[in-house]
Structure formats: C-alpha cells, structure tokens
Amino acid sequence: MEKYLDITKSVIISSPAGSGKTEKLARRYISLLLGGSEIEKILCITFTEKAASEMKERTMKILEKENLDLFFKIREKMPLMRISTIHAFCFKILKRFSMELGLDPSLDVMDEFNASLLWSESVYESLIEEKDSPDLFFEMMKNRGIKGWDRLSSILNDLHSRRPHPELILKENHFIEGEEEKKILELYSRCLRRYTDKKLERHLLDFDDLELLAYEAIAKNTEWQNILYSFDEHTDHILVDEFQDTSSLQWKIIDKLTEEWRSGIGSKRDSGKTPTIFLVGDEKQSIYLFRGANLSVFQEAKERFSEWLGREYHFEEVRKNYRSLPAIINFTNNLFERLMPPTLYESWRTRYAPFEATRQGDGRVELILIDAAESTKENRGKEASALAKRIQSLIGHYEIFDGEIKRHCAYGDMAILLRKRTHLATFEDALRKEGIPFIVVKGIGFYDEPEVAALRELLSFIIDTMDDYSLFCVLRSPFFGIEYETLFKLIHKGDQPLIEKIQSSTNKKVKDAFNLITGWIEKSKHTPLAVLLEDVLSETGGWRYYWEKQRHANIKKFIKLIEQYESQGFSCLDIREKLIRARQGDEGKANINTEGMNAVKIMTVHATKGLQFPMVFLPSLDEDNVPKSSHIVIDEDGGKISIAYEEDSTKRKKIEHFLRRREKEIEEEKRLFYVAVTRARDFLCMLGALKREKPPTGRLAYIADTSGILKDGQINPEMDILKIMNESQIDEIYFTRHPSLVARHLPSEPFMAEPIYTGPIAYEPILKWRDVTEDIDIRVKHGEDWLVLGRVFHRLFEELSKGVIHPDEIEKRSIILLRDETPNKGNIERLKEIITKNFEKLEKSGFLRDVILPKENSYAELPFMLQRGNTIFRGRVDRIVVKDDMATIYDYKTFPIKDSELPELTEKYRFQMEIYRSAVEKILSVKAKSYLFFTHAQRLIEL
C-alpha cells in the first residue's frame, strides 16, 4: 500500500504539477471510506467550487470502476458529502451556531458590488466626521502636500482591499511602527466600525467576514468549546487541497479545529478512533499572493506536524511527473533548478525539486525570438503573427500522443497562455487573420467589463429613471467622473429620487451631468437606444477613457446587441430585463471544457490552475515581470503583520518593507512561469522579443541566465535543450507548409506505439451543467402573452402551495405580478381575465385542491441537482406530493393545447420528466411517478 493511504497517519504531500494530485486526494478519501469512516465525518476543503465538484467526480469515477458496492452506497449519500470551499464551510459554521454567536440566523453573504457600495458609504461618512475634527489624517495630508478626497479614499480602499490583514492588525493589536501608519490605521478603524455596523443592520456578511467570524467563533468566543465539540463529533478527518494557496487565517481555522486531536487528550482517541489531517499542495504553484496566500503556512505545517505528531505523521515529496514528455521535463528541471535554488532559505522563497519523467517519447520545446521593434505594442504584434504562423505550420505536421496513440495535432490541442490580458486583442487579431479558430477564456463576464457596465447602467437608468443605483454608477463612471464626496452628499439629502436631487446641485460637474442626462432621457423617447448610446459616447468623449482595442470592441458589441434587440421589436423594459438577466446568467468564464470544439484556447496563466494541454504557447517572455509597487504594503512574517505607507515611489525603493514585498512578488512571477511551463504535455513553444545589443529582459532573461542560451547577446547554437527559431525561419516553414498545401503531403509513417504508462494522469473530468427547463420556445409557438402568463402562473401556483397566499387573493396578487412583467395597463387587465378563468376551472375540477393547495409532505419549486455520468442536471420541480411512500411529481404546463398535440408533447417532455423522477427519487428516497399537468386544458398525463 502506498504510504499516503495509511489512514492511521496524518499526511502532507508536496505534489508538483502533473504528479496526480487530485487522484491522490480522491484515493485517500476512498481509503478513509474503506477504513470505515462515515461519509459525513470526512471534511474536504478545496480552493474553488469547480475543484470541489471535480473532486467528487473523480472519487465517484474511481469507485464506479473499482468498487461497485461502495459506489452505490456512496451515491445514495452524495448530499452528505462534505467537499466544499473554506468559505462555504465557514458559512455553515456561522449559520449553524448563529444563536450562540449572537448573529441573525437569516444572515446572508453580500456580493462584491454591494459590499463595495456599503464600504464607500462608510468611508464617506467617516471622513465627513473627520473633517470637523481634523486631528488625524487631514493634518498629515496638509503637511505632506497630499490633496484631495479621492486620494485619501483611495488609500483607505487600498488598505481595505488587503483585508482581512488590516482588520487583523486592529483586532490582534499588532505593533505598528510609523506615525503615519498609525494614523491611517486609526482612520481605517473608524471606517471599518461604520462598515461593520451597516452590515449588522442589514444582517449581511462579506466574504472576508466568513473566515474572520468563523475563526473568532472557534478561537475566542465563550461558546467555542461547544462549537468545537460539535464539530469534533462530526468530523474525523480533514483533507485540504491546494494547500499552497492557504492564507494564514484559513490555516488558523484548520489548526484550531484540529488542536484537540493533536494534543491526544481528545475524546476521539479514547474511543479508539484516530483522526487525521491530509494536506496536498505544491509550493511552486502558489500564485495567489494578492489574495493572501502565504507560502510560509505550508512550511510551518510541515515542521509543526512532525513536532506534534511524531510517528503518526508522514511527509512525501512526489517527484514523478505523469504529464509531460521528457523534453519538457528536461527543460523545466534545467530552468527551475537554477531559478529556484534549494540552497536559499527564507520561508517565502521557492525551492525546486527536479521532476522524474515517466512518460516515454520525445516532445519538443522551442523558443521563437523576435527582433525587437520600437514599442511593446509592435513587439506583441510581430510576436502574435509569428505565433499564428507557427500554429499553422504545426497543424497537419506535428504529432502528439493521444493516450498511447500518436496522431496529428489539431487546434483544439493548443493553448496560448498569457500573463495578463493587456495585449489580448493583438493575439486575437493575428489568429483571426490566419483563420485559426480560437476561444478566449475570460475572467470577468462581458457585462461586467467596466465599459460595458457603464453603458448598461446608463441604459437601465434612462429606461427607469427611478433607478437611483444605476444613476449613481453612471455618475461615478468616467463619463462624468463625479467624486464620491459630492455624490454621497447628494444621496444623504432627502427622500426624493436621486435625479431630482442632482437637479438642485450647485456643483458644476453635477449640473452639466444633469443637463446631459435629461437630454438623453428626452431623446430616448423618439430615438433608438443604440443610436442614443453612440451619441452619448461622442457627446461625453467617453471613447477616450476606453482606449484599449478590446474595450472599443466590447462597446461596439454592446451597441450591436441593443440594436438587435430593438430590431426584434423588444420594448425598452424588455431590454432592461434582458440585460439584468444576461448579467446574472453571464457565467464569466467561457467553459473551456467545450469538448469537441476544435479551437485554440487563449487564457491567463492564473486561469490554467489544474489544467493541462497537449501543446502550450507562451508568448511575451520579454515583458517586464517586475511588478509595480503600491504605496501601501501589508506583509506577514511569522505571525506578525506589518504595514508600511509611502507616497513617494523613489523613497519606497529604500524602505525595507517595500523591498521585501517586491522580492516576494518577483518570486511569485517565477512560480507563475513554472505553472505556465508545466501545463504542457507534449509540446511547448515560447516566444519573446529580443533587443539587439541589449540583454534579454523579463522571463527571457531567466531562460538566458539559467541555460546559457545566449552568449554575449548571441544565440548559442550548442543548446539542445530547446530549439531556437527566428522570424525568418518561422516564415520559411510557414510558406512551405501552409495548410492549403497540407493535403498534398503524404501521410506520415504509421507510428509503432510502444506501450507507455500514462496513468494516473491528473486528467480533468469534463463536467457539463445542464439546466432542465422548457426547451420549446413558447414565445414562438404561443406568443409573448403566454410567456408572461407562464411565469405568473408558476409564481401563483408556488405561492399557493407554500401557503404564502390564500385562494381569495389570487386576483389581487396576479395584478401585482403582471405589473412587474408588462407596463401596459390594457394588457394587465386582459391577462388577469385569463388567469381568473383558469383558476375558476381549476377549482371546479378539484385540481386546485388536490394538487396545488398546501398539504402534508408536499414540495413546491424544489431545486435539485442530479449527476448522470459527466453531466450535472439542475432545475426545479414544480410540485411534489408524497403519500404512502410514493411521490407524485407534477410539471405545470400553462400554455393552451389541443388534445391532438398530446402524444407529441408527451414525447417532447419525456426526458425532462425522467430526470425529474430520478432526482426526486434520490432526494426523497421514495418511488416516484410523474405527470405533465396542462393547466389550461386541465389534462393530467402520466409519463
């Protein structure tokens, strides 16, 4: 048996890229199950939601293959599986013990935007107060010549963005060295107090609160023993994934939870159970410094575990790499052994341990050097064009391993990994020019890009002038750039809508804004919205704030979208609604598991966490990788948190704090490079621009320094660790192998495959999410009215079933619901008539009583998730009534039908109903039968 599977021991595994980390985690989890642990007593903490679902998937896959009995047993208990993010876990603790913690049990987590709004408000109010008694920061600003509200609030915001650290400094009373820093923190603490009060009033938490409060709850609260005990009772084993990205606070939480176990006096040991903790991670893949990831945590855990647990602890450093071919392994070892030398010792430094390749075959690493042009932009252009050409010359020529079989590579095998998105558009252009299909894996959704968001808010407001929030966003946006100070003053003035408040303002900027905006509202009455947006952009000169090509493109795309909606005849309110929904549905990241999509993927290095690709392209290596310093630095060192503030960037260079932070960031850049390189399975191509007679810069310097590729600025031809090519060579192969010529090429020799060992590879399972909803277009078939009616009927049914409304109130309620759906008064009256008639019929036939009205053991709008193979279905079941161990499922179809259509409709919904039935059987553990309930025609069809 592998040592890491020994469930009598706690384990830390240092598991580098491609060494089967997820597999090990899943195997350990299974070992615990096999060892008799109950599923609800194992807690597994992952970094993201995605990682959590992957972990579940992987575990089930192994079980399905190797232990069918256990597979079925566990599948039954899937909902009890505790595989979640640390935030979800903390939230659960807080909810569960809300009474003991003095929190409102209905507490909820705020989204980012609302949190930032509440925060800005708090800053504003605190500063107003401070202005009246200027003993703190304003004096200091005056002395230093720092002017302006925005500057000051930006310092506070900067500090706040580094939460939870500044909050911890205050709460834990850390020693603060400088006078200025003390003043800043004092001011910050006032803002924070206000912010906290505001959250309390609204029963809201932000993401940082989850960890902070959970930690306080278990560490300091008088009730903590209770909580610990009950946690203890429910958890025997903890597993943590991506441990290198754990923050100090997260570690403190885990540490506290396991304290009792280690001390050996816990009740568990007496009862003969051995609780364990299992940590997997790779120091070299820690790339979330900006989010508080603290590498020392990993180091510390290793040391303290052996101290505490002695022989009941096992440490393992995996060397084997199952992902990459030897050429890539050799290159990686060569590069990073020097870049991350094991001899340097500071706990935040990265130390490299060389890989052992396990895959057989060659692989290829190449470096394409571009003759540097005048500007960065030009360089990126030349580079992108070379990259596109290189891709074209590889297609149909280069062979990669697909499992054990060799085949020609395709676009879908390739990924371009960027450090940042700045020059994204340049790469897109180059690929487009070559006709290469590609998909960009985006970070934030289209609708949340600042330029799109600004236009979206503007439209929202013009369509509904009572929408203060949208107006606020518009006024803050670069179109008007009105300061917080001015705006908050206005907001706090009275009860009338914001637009009326700004009318009376004496501030010139606000006045101008008011005039422009009212002009637009007037215009919108007789001008298409798309045209209006174009005008807005030219009138305000808005274009110039979005100078980047990508932003221009986004703006154009948005205007086009609106144009489309208008040409399809949607009303303004429709469009507004559509925008709100589109934004909610914007999944942000395009799904890169779009299997079967033969396209090159473009993404940031950060986004590749946990992914791998047969062929990886790494452009812009010459880019400067020294991060810009910020004027505030918060740093951790062995439990101490320190803070430093300095406006002057020249002075910063001489201050220890800033220097060390910089060192840490440079160290992280190296790790990012490591992550990028190790994504490649078979082929790695790097690109960069080299200035003549100047030493290489950025990551190019790393390669040059460490592997002797360049000698005195000249390329060293002796290098066999990677193939170096220049632009003319790229052109040459491109022209001889252009895809149009590929067809004429003879097929390559059939490959005599030696059996190679490729598993267990950390292969990413493909999980597809599908919403189970109406898939025939009701609008097309039955018209707009029935779409609206469908939504209203469903709401009414749900509210009736849940007892929210009484049958007497149907008419009143339907008017309110209809009003939200359609602005037209005549429409409301007409639709209301249809609803009333329908309900009369439902009452007469008894369906209202038998199906819809509240009863024992029944559910309405029950949400579910159901996994079938690689697909996770999610949806809501309209109505379930359980009687005598049998669940009856009703799916409401509210549109009118003819009896002759019934057979066809039944077929159409058979699959959907089948999913519902399985889901219900699983959730409620009873047999189920399902009915389509056509409420207009009063037909009940069993499936």
Partner DNA sequence: GAGCGGGCACTTTTT
Partner DNA sequence: GTGCCCGCTC
Binding site for DNA (CB under 7 A): 47-50, 85, 87-88, 112, 207, 290-291, 374-377, 419-422, 443, 544-545, 547, 588-589, 604, 606-607, 623, 627-631, 649-650, 665
Q: How far is the CB of 158 from DNA (least distance, A)?
A: 10
If the CB atoms of residues 417 and 828 are measured against DNA, the closer one turns out to be 417
CA angle centred on 8, ends 354 and 35, rounded to 5°:
110
Q: How far is the CB of 132 from DNA (least distance, A)?
A: 27
- Do 344 and 351 touch, CB atoms closer than 8 A? yes
d(CA 696, CA 702): 9
Helix axes 450-463, 468-476, angle to 10 degrees: 140
d(CA 489, CA 398): 65
Q: How far is the CB of 550 from DNA (least distance, A)?
A: 11
Q: How far is the CB of 103 from DNA (least distance, A)?
A: 18
Alpha helices (H) in 133-206, listed in sequence order: 137-144, 149-160, 165-171, 179-201
DSSP output for 306-331: HHHHGGGEEEEE--EESSS-HHHHHH
Q: How far is the CB of 205 from DNA (least distance, A)?
A: 11
d(CA 438, CA 432): 8
DSSP state at residue 343: T
If the CB atoms of residues 126 and 250 are measured against DNA, the closer one turns out to be 250
Q: Identify the residue whose tokens are 């810009």.
A: 628
If the CB atoms of residues 141 and 394 are measured against DNA, the closer one turns out to be 141
- Do 770 and 874 touch, CB atoms closer than 8 A? yes
Q: How far is the CB of 211 from DNA (least distance, A)?
A: 9
Q: How far is the CB of 829 from DNA (least distance, A)?
A: 44
Q: How far is the CB of 729 from DNA (least distance, A)?
A: 26
If the CB atoms of residues 148 and 494 are measured against DNA, the closer one turns out to be 148
d(CA 87, CA 473): 29
Residues 6+ apart with CB under 8 A from 866: 872, 873, 874, 915, 918, 919, 922
Return the H-helix or E-strand segment holding 601: strand 600-604
If the CB atoms of residues 88 and 940 are measured against DNA, the closer one turns out to be 88
Q: Residue 194 corresponds to which amino acid?
A: R
How many beta carbons lie within 10 A of that of residue 108, not counting itself?
Answer: 11
Q: How far is the CB of 541 from DNA (least distance, A)?
A: 9
Residues 6+ apart with CB under 8 A from 898: none
Closest C-alpha among 580, 578, 554 to residue 566:
578
Q: How far is the CB of 207 from DNA (least distance, A)?
A: 3
Q: How far is the CB of 199 from DNA (least distance, A)?
A: 15
Q: How far is the CB of 840 from DNA (least distance, A)?
A: 47
The tokens for 754 are: 């030696």
Q: Residue 915 corresponds to which amino acid?
A: I
Buried b (16+ CB within 10 A) or exposed e, 680-690: bbbbbbbbbbb
If the CB atoms of residues 99 and 626 are measured against DNA, the closer one turns out to be 626
If the CB atoms of residues 174 and 606 are measured against DNA, the closer one turns out to be 606
Q: How far is the CB of 60 from DNA (least distance, A)?
A: 20
Q: How far is the CB of 70 from DNA (least distance, A)?
A: 28
If the CB atoms of residues 674 and 793 are measured against DNA, the closer one turns out to be 674
Strands 886-893 and 871-883: antiparallel
491 to each of 226, 468, 494, 628, how far by Cα in Å?
45, 9, 7, 36
If the CB atoms of residues 299 and 629 are measured against DNA, the closer one turns out to be 629
What phi, psi does 642 have (nearest 5°)? -125, 160
If the CB atoms of residues 186 and 483 are measured against DNA, the closer one turns out to be 483
Q: How far is the CB of 190 from DNA (least distance, A)?
A: 24
What SS3 state is found at 235? coil
Q: How far is the CB of 188 from DNA (least distance, A)?
A: 20
Strands 10-14 and 204-205: unpaired
DSSP state at residue 849: I
If the CB atoms of residues 396 and 445 are measured against DNA, the closer one turns out to be 445
How far, in whole angstroms, is CA 132 from its chain's centroid?
42
Task: Give the CA-trace dihedral at 202, 203, 207, 208, to 10 degrees.
Answer: 90
d(CA 428, CA 883): 59
If the CB atoms of residues 465 and 594 are measured against DNA, the closer one turns out to be 594
If the CB atoms of residues 89 and 231 are measured against DNA, the closer one turns out to be 89
HSE-up of residue 914 (Cα within 13 Å, Cβ side): 8
If the CB atoms of residues 189 and 376 are measured against DNA, the closer one turns out to be 376
Closest C-alpha among 247, 256, 344, 327 to residue 295:
247
If the CB atoms of residues 240 and 796 are measured against DNA, the closer one turns out to be 240
d(CA 351, CA 346): 10
How many beta carbons lie within 10 A of that of residue 609, not counting itself?
Answer: 17
Residues 6+ apart with CB under 8 A from 351: 283, 340, 341, 342, 344, 345
d(CA 660, CA 201): 40
d(CA 618, CA 602): 10
If the CB atoms of residues 609 and 791 are measured against DNA, the closer one turns out to be 609
If the CB atoms of residues 71 and 207 are measured against DNA, the closer one turns out to be 207
